[in-house]
Every structure is written in structure tokens, then in C-alpha cells.
A = this chain, B = another copy of it.
């Protein structure tokens, strides 16, 4: 076992690869392209595990991330509305790889026509009700304006539509996730009647983990978090505890018998600050003994609060702990935890993310 002295993030390769296989199989069975989102791991090393399963195209969430992954990948979709201030970097990336850009307004298109030096693929971002980014699915006028502009510009190859069913993150059970997925699919389905032979790319870990049937107009899925999963995904019904491939290992630095709490070295600079509600209390992670790493049966506590470096763990009995012990924690949000830590250990070796 790794000799840990401070908060350390461990990544289970076997679980991660199984998670990839499962969703890849689901995609294959439904004739879907699998274009995984790499914002969760931000790692060239982890990217290789996807390559080994025949995946050849990826999704990223920033132009910096596209630049980083263009070392190893030559088909990249930046699933974030184009930031026109970074056009120079976009031009550099498009020299090296097939680049997909997300557009949800006409003004950006004009900039792209003006400033792009190479051909790119254009996807229209569609909002099916999540209200984060995208053109509302009913707004055919704005959609047509973009498609028409693309047809007049040889550099802008319109390819189809991208949507994120973010609502599934507000679920409380498997059936709830599937219900939300169906509502979003219905909206996209209407759109697909107006735009035949276009790609329709959807992506969110909750629905992509559970849905067994996709209508035929859907061509691609883009989940990201599923490679590691996390406590949040488990609690909404996306995965089992044993599917979660990340653990934060933290030292016990103090014990408070009178309040059944232990203090760990591990705070919001390690985990990030995302939490879940369990029995009306905030929870920042499930706590287990380090000795049973990856085979945890019995939870020994819950992280009840995080400061910058402190974590307070509520336990059943403080007598089970000694100062200097290590505990293993399932984090609430793996994407943000990985981003916070900037590196993780795989089979005893340290790997840094894009930084």
C-alpha cells in the first residue's frame, strides 16, 4: 500500500476501465458514437485507457484543454460556447486536429468567419430546459440563421446539434433520471423532425449510465464523470458504491471523544466544496478504513464539514481511531476533486493532470 503522509488522491485503474467498457458497450449496442468528456480526468495517461478501447474522439470543456489533448488526439469537440478572445489558440489547434466548436449565437459565427484560418466543424448547442447554454430547442429561426451562415462559409462545416441533459443531476433515483432523460429526448425529437441527417450528440453521466434505448436520431453520447463516478452520482442513482474509482486518503490529526468527531488533514483545497444532503445534514464524503481500500464494506464516518485544510468527520465511536491513522474517503464530486488535487496515484505511480 502507498505510504501516504498527506491528502493523496488514488485512482483505481481496473474500476475505471470497467466503467469505460460498460458505457462503450451500451454505445455500441445502440449504434452510438462514444465521445467521452475529458474534463473529469484531464489526464493524457487516463486518455490512453479510452484509446485502448477503440475510442478515437473526445470532448473537452475549454480551449486550453483542447490544446493539451491535441498532443494525443486528433478529433476534439470543445463542448463550451466559443470564447472568441482565444481565436489564435483555436487556429493553432485546428492545424493539428479535427476541431468541433459549439455555437449558440450568430455573433460568434461572424467572428469565426472573419478570424478562423482553417476548417472547423460547427455544432449548435441546444437548450432543452437546463438554461445554462444553448439556443432553445423551439427557436428554429436562430438555428436556421446559423445553418445558413455555415452553408455560405466553406470553413464552417455544420454537423449537427449538441445537448446536455443537466436536469438529470437533480434526480433522486434511477427512474427519476430516466424520466428526465425522456422529457429531454422528446424535445430533441421534435427538432430532429426539422433537421434530418444531422448529428445529435447528448451527454450526461446519469442518463448515459442507465438508459438502454436511444431513438435512432441520436448519434453520439458524451458522458465524462462516469469513468470515476463519485458520491453524488451514487446518491442520485447513477452507480453503485463499488463503481467509484477515486479515494482521497487523509491522515487523522486529532480525536474529539466528547463530540464523536475526528479531525483529518484534508479540506476544501483538496476536495473542493461540493456537498450532498443526507438526512438534512451536509456531507462532504463517505469515510472508510484505509486498510480495506477498494473493498470497503462498513462506512466508519461522514465528512460533516470542510475548511481550507481541516475536515471534520462524524464517527460512531472514536475508539476505533488513533492519531496518525489514515482514512479513505469517497469524494462528493470527482471532477472538482481531481481539478483541486492536480495529480493522482495510479498503481503507486504519481500522474499530474493538465495543470
Contact = CB atoms under 8 A, between A and B. Distances in A.
Interface string A28-63: 000000000001000000000000000000000111
A41 to B, nearest CB: 12
A92 interface: no
A326 B323 CA distance: 49
A310 B80 contact: yes
A174 interface: no
Interface in A269-283: 269, 272-274
B133 A251 contact: no
Interface string A305-341: 1011110100000000011101000000001100110
A193 interface: no
A5 B62 contact: no
A82 interface: yes
A183 to B, nearest CB: 19
A106 B131 CA distance: 54
Q: Would you call the interface of chain A mostly helix, strand, loop, or mixed?
A: mixed
A1 interface: no
Contacts of A196: none
A107 interface: yes
Contacts of A136: 258
A228 to B, nearest CB: 14
A80 B131 CA distance: 42
Contact of A324 (B64, B111, B261): B111
A85 interface: yes
Contacts of A274: 268, 273
Contacts of A272: 268, 272-273
A189 interface: no
A: contact size bracket: 35 or more
Contact of A259 (B107, B111, B131): B131
A326 B85 CA distance: 10
A178 interface: no
Contacts of A263: 81, 132-133
A85 B307 contact: no
A166 to B, nearest CB: 8
A273 B39 contact: no
Given A85-B324, A108-B254, 20 more contacts: A5-B85, A6-B64, A6-B85, A61-B308, A61-B309, A80-B253, A81-B253, A83-B251, A84-B251, A84-B323, A85-B251, A111-B323, A131-B256, A131-B259, A132-B305, A132-B312, A133-B254, A268-B272, A269-B339, A273-B274
20 contacts: A4-B85, A5-B83, A6-B64, A61-B309, A62-B265, A80-B309, A80-B310, A81-B263, A83-B251, A83-B253, A84-B251, A84-B253, A131-B261, A132-B312, A166-B307, A268-B274, A268-B336, A269-B336, A273-B274, A308-B339
The 8 closest A-B pairs by CB, nearest first: A5-B85, A273-B273, A81-B253, A81-B254, A61-B309, A107-B323, A84-B324, A83-B265
